[in-house]
């Protein structure tokens, strides 16, 4: 039995279920308790779990991110909400230097099972300092995992897995997707990390992406189908670990690959996926791997400029045409 709920509800259900299941799990962040969540993701959770387990914080990401590292080392399992991943930058030392490395530096004594979650990517005219896509910055670091849910179903399944994972998990949501509705089963389910899924099947070109840009990819794939080009659209689901096998299996069939990444091009997740595809599928490629990214500029505030900056459907269509020598 499934029911239709919003992406934000799926996130809340995941957190609530895990908090009922394991009393060591708690939620902390700006506005998560009294205000019911800056984006209403944690609505009702303060009432159910009380102020010891749903905790409002001052505006100090370094402070509460650091607190979570200590709490985790002491045996708890924190969920830290960043109102925006843009704000995680001030907590970089805690989330990059401490959390992912603690297990290693302590010789295996102190795992840090923390989930850091929040909105990632352009949110709709939030300006350049509040529109960060952090995947390419952070994916480089060993010791962390990174998940990017596409819809309500994936949001719940991946978040539950993230909470149960003993490693720090960076959970990148999107403000633009919080209201998107989807079919979510009533019964419990988890989605394992490292397993990509295909959102659309086709034999002419492989498109790979994560999270919100997949909606642009599917839009592009629809337009391309009218031109007779059928695309395999692969949702990687988790950046770390990356399911290169599923991607490679598709590229071996299609011989062409376009990677769509909402972060900037240089030293990005898109570049990493393209490099891995090149390594694994060299003999099966008819062209080099193409990448579609956000333009190499800080996110504009003006609506039309922001839309143009993103890896939108038009750019994806052009890339697929070019890579398949149909330009």
Partner 1 sequence: MPIEITMPRLSDTMERGMIIKWNVKEGDAVSAGDNVADIETDKAIMEMQVFDDGRMARIVVPEGEMVEVGTLIAVLAENDEAIQDVAGAVSAGTPRVTAEKDAPETADADAGTTAASEPAPAAAGGRIKASPVARRLAEEHGIDLATLQGSGPGGRIVKRDVQRAVETGRETVAAVPPSARTPATTVTPTPVAATPAPPAALTTAVETIGGLQPGSVPLSNMRQTIARRLVEAKSTIPHYQVTVTFAMDALVGLRGTLNEQLTDQGVKLSINDFLVRGCALAIHHHPEFNASWGGDHLEIHAEVNIGLAIALPAERGGGLVVATIRQADRKSLRAISQDSKHLAQKARTRGLTIEEMSGATFTISNLGMFGVEHFTAIINPPNSAILAVGAALQKPVVRDGELAVGWEMSATLSLDHRIIDGASAARYLKTLKQLIENPATLLV
Q: Where in the sequence numbering do the catalytic residues fall?
A: 61, 130
Stretch that binds partner 1, among 57-65, 133-141, 169-177, 282-290 (CB under 8 A): 282-290
CA 163 to chain centre: 15
Q: How far is CA 194 from CA 69, 138, 173, 191, 323, in A?
A: 25, 17, 17, 9, 27
DSSP E strands in 109-226: the ranges are 115-119, 145-147, 169-173, 181-185, 197-200, 205-209
**Residue 197 burial (10 A CB sphere; 0-12, 13-18, 19+):** middle
Task: State which of residues 34, 93, 286, 308 lies at the interface with partner 1 (CB under 8 A).
Answer: 286
Q: Does residue 187 belong to the site contacting partner 1 (CB under 8 A)?
A: no
Binding characters for partner 1, 215-254, by CB under 8 A (x = yes): ----------------------------------------
Q: What is the DSSP letter of 235?
A: E
d(CA 230, CA 238): 24
- 276 scored as a contact of partner 1 (CB under 8 A): no
Least distance from partner 1 to the Cβ atom of residue 260, Å: 22
**Token digits of residue 142:** 């060993």
Measure CA of the first residue to CA of the last residue in the chain; give whole Å. 45
Contact between 284 and partner 1 per CB under 8 A: yes
Q: C-beta of 287: minimal distance to partner 1 in Å?
A: 6
Residues contacting residue 292 through CB under 8 Å, at least 6 positions apart = 258, 259, 260, 261, 270, 311, 315, 316, 319
**Is the Cβ of residue 174 or residue 324 nearer to partner 1 in the bound state?**
324
Count of residues near partner 1 by CB under 8 A: 8
CB of 208: closest distance to partner 1 in angstroms?
A: 18
Residue 325 touching partner 1 (CB under 8 A): yes
User: Taking CB under 8 A as the rule, does residue 141 contact partner 1?
Assistant: no
Which residues in 42-81 contact partner 1 (CB under 8 A)?
Answer: none
Stretch of 3-11, 33-41, 281-289, 303-311 lying at the interface with partner 1 (CB under 8 A): 281-289
Q: Which residues pair with 185 in a beta bridge?
A: 2
287 binds partner 1 (CB under 8 A): yes
Q: Of 49-57, 119-127, 283-291, 300-308, which segment contacts partner 1 by CB under 8 A?
A: 283-291
Task: Out of 62, 128, 198, 255, point to the residue binding partner 1 (CB under 8 A).
Answer: 255
The piece of 58-66, 114-122, 224-232, 277-285 that touches partner 1 (CB under 8 A) is 277-285
Max CA separation in the chain (angstroms): 59
| Whole-number Å distance between alpha carbons of 239 and 168 | 14
Q: Which is nearer to partner 1, 186 or 325 (CB)?
A: 325
- What the block records as the tokens of 292 is 């579609």
Positions in the binding site for partner 1 (CB under 8 A): 255, 282-287, 325
């Amino acid at each position: 039995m499934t029911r239709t709920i919003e992406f934000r509800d799926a996130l809340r259900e995941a957190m609530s279920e895990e908090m009922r299941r394991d009393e060591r799990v708690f939620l902390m962040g700006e506005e998560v308790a009294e205000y019911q969540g800056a984006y209403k993701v944690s609505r009702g959770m303060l009432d159910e779990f009380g102020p010891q387990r749903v905790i409002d914080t001052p505006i100090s990401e370094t402070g509460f991110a650091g607190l979570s590292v200590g709490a985790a080392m002491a045996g708890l399992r924190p969920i830290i909400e960043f109102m925006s991943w843009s704000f995680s930058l001030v907590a970089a030392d805690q989330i990059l230097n401490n959390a992912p490395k603690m297990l290693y530096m302590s010789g295996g004594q102190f795992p840090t099972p923390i989930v850091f979650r929040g909105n990632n990517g352009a949110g709709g005219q939030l300006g350049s300092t509040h529109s960060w896509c952090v995947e390419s910055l952070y994916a480089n670091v060993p010791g962390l995992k990174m998940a990017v849910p596409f819809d309500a179903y994936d949001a719940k399944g991946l978040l539950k897995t993230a909470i149960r994972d003993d490693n720090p998990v960076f959970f990148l949501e999107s403000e633009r997707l919080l209201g998107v509705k989807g079919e979510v089963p009533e019964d419990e389910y988890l989605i394992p990390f490292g397993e990509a899924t295909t959102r659309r099947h086709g034999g002419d070109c492989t498109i790979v992406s994560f999270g919100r840009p997949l909606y642009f990819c599917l839009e592009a794939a629809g337009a391309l189908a009218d031109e007779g080009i059928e695309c395999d659209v692969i949702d990687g689901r988790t950046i770390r670990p990356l399911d290169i096998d599923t991607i490679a299996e598709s590229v071996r069939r299609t011989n062409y690959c376009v990677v769509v990444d909402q972060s900037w091009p240089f030293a990005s997740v898109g570049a990493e996926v393209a490099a891995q595809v090149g390594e694994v599928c060299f003999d099966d490629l008819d062209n080099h791997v193409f990448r579609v990214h956000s333009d190499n500029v800080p996110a504009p505030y003006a609506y039309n400029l922001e839309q143009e900056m993103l890896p939108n459907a038009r750019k994806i269509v052009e890339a697929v045409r070019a890579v398949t020598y149909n330009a």
